[in-house]
């Protein structure tokens, strides 16, 4: 996971009090279209700093930025109040849930990188802070448009709640049912088909080229080499795995997210 801590933005420790945040994550958005997906990541950092300024200024007067975290369209998680802190984000759940804002507006699509970024952040919170499995949208707490219809659909259909590396609707080449069909988890050398094609496209977008065969849907030597290179780039020392585990898939997706964030 790529996580930028408060120090990245020049912020000291938060003044927010402890919150158990043990129930899960709540997804938010911005009410304006920001266009951050078309800009370099430095614009996301600028947005994050401005958001804190606004939240602490006369309009809001809060002790800190309202959210626990943000995840930008490049898939990078950015720390707000951080783990297990009370928030000013979703009344009724400010101390029992972690808030994550997507930094997008109503007309903007949620990028595959952002989806993967949320999944990795959620997995990290679950592992290190005992956060529960829940995934909600702001509008589940109060009457609001937040997190927008696009993100809320992904809340409801379970997209954010899947493991890192699982399929992302619209990026794979799976069937009309989308979710779950093109997961790379479980694939092994010798496999053929649309799920292999999905793996190959992700590998190429992550910078691990398949110069000879491309995304041909056959998991052969060339694909195997690219898988190992992607895993190695994430610090894996394992020389060979006979199938793609959840951990391997997460490494490949992390390599992909990092590449497109550049």
How many angstroms separate the CA atoms of 37 and 99, rounded? 21
65 binds Zn ion (CB under 5 A): no
Smallest gap from Cβ 62 to Zn ion, in A, equals 14
Order of strands, sheet of 3-4, starting from the edge strand that comes earlier in the sequence:
3-4, 77-79, 69-71, 98-101, 24-28, 134-137
Nearer to Zn ion, 14 or 258 (CB): 258
Total residues at the site for Zn ion (CB under 5 A)? 7
Question: Nearest CA to 131 among 114, 143, 118?
Answer: 118
Output 6 or 138, the one with its CB closest to Zn ion. Answer: 138
Token digits for 186?
């479980």
Q: With binding defined as CB under 5 A, does residue 28 bind Zn ion?
A: yes
Taking the mean position of all CA atoms in its chain, how far away is CA 60?
Answer: 28
Which listed range, 65-73, 158-166, 186-194, 200-208, lies at the site for Zn ion (CB under 5 A)? Answer: 65-73
What is the torsional sign of CA 141, 143, 145, 150? positive
Instruction: Tell me the closest approach of the beta carbon of residue 217 to Zn ion, in angstroms.
Output: 32
> Contacting Zn ion (CB under 5 A), which of 2, 6, 41, 195?
41
- The reply to whether 260 sits near Zn ion by the rule CB under 5 A is no
Work out which of 44, 166, 203, 253 binds Zn ion, going by CB under 5 A: 44
74 binds Zn ion, rule: CB under 5 A = yes
Should residue 259 be labelled a site residue for Zn ion when binding is judged by CB under 5 A?
no
Using CB under 5 A as the binding rule, whether residue 81 contacts Zn ion is answered as no
Window contacting Zn ion (CB under 5 A); options: 1-9, 51-59, 144-152, 226-234:
144-152
Based on the shown chain and the rule CB under 5 A, indicate whether residue 55 belongs to the binding site for Zn ion: no
Find the shortest distance in angstroms from Cβ 72 to Zn ion. 3
Region from 6-14, 37-45, 218-226, 242-250 binding Zn ion, contact rule CB under 5 A: 37-45
Burial 138-168 (b: 16+ CB within 10 A, else e): bbbbeeeebbbebbbebbeeebbbbbbbbbb
Residue 116: closest CA among 148, 84, 149, 77: 77
CA 246, CA 252: separation in Å to the nearest integer? 10
Question: How far apart are CB 180 and Zn ion at their closest, in Å?
Answer: 28
**Kind and range of the H or E run holding 77:** strand 77-79
Q: Are strands 77-79 and 69-71 parallel, antiparallel or unpaired?
A: antiparallel
Binding part of the chain for Zn ion, among 35-43, 57-65, 117-125, 177-185 by CB under 5 A, reads 35-43
Angle in degrees, CA 260, 32, 103, rounded to 5: 35
136 binds Zn ion (CB under 5 A): no
Q: Binding to Zn ion by residue 249, rule CB under 5 A?
A: no
User: Which residues would be at the binding site for Zn ion (CB under 5 A)?
Assistant: 28, 41, 44, 72, 74, 138, 146
């Amino acid at each position: 996971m790529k996580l930028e801590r408060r120090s990245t933005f020049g912020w000291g420790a938060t003044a927010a009090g402890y919150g158990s945040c043990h129930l899960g994550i709540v997804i938010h958005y911005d009410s304006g279209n920001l266009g951050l997906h078309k800009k370099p990541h430095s614009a996301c950092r600028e947005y994050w700093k401005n958001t804190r300024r606004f939240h602490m200024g006369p309009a809001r007067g809060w002790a800190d930025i309202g959210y626990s975290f943000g995840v930008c369209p490049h898939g990078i998680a950015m720390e707000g109040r951080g783990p297990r802190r009370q928030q000013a984000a979703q009344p009724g759940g400010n101390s029992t849930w972690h808030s994550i804002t997507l930094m997008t507006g109503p007309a903007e699509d949620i990028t595959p990188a952002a989806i993967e970024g949320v999944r990795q952040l959620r997995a990290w919170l679950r592992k290190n802070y005992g956060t529960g499995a829940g995934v909600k949208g702001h509008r589940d707490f109060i009457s609001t448009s937040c997190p927008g219809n696009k993100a809320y659909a992904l809340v409801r259909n379970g997209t954010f709640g899947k493991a890192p590396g699982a399929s992302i609707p619209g990026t794979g080449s799976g069937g009309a049912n989308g979710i779950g069909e093109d997961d790379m988890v479980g694939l092994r050398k010798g496999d053929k088909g649309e799920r292999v094609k999905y793996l190959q496209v992700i590998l190429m977008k992550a910078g691990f080229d398949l110069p000879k065969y491309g995304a041909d849907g056959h998991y052969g030597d060339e694909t195997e080499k690219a898988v190992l290179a992607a895993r190695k780039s994430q610090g894996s020392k394992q020389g060979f795995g006979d199938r793609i585990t959840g951990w391997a898939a997460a490494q490949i997706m992390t390599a992909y997210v990092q590449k497109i964030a550049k």
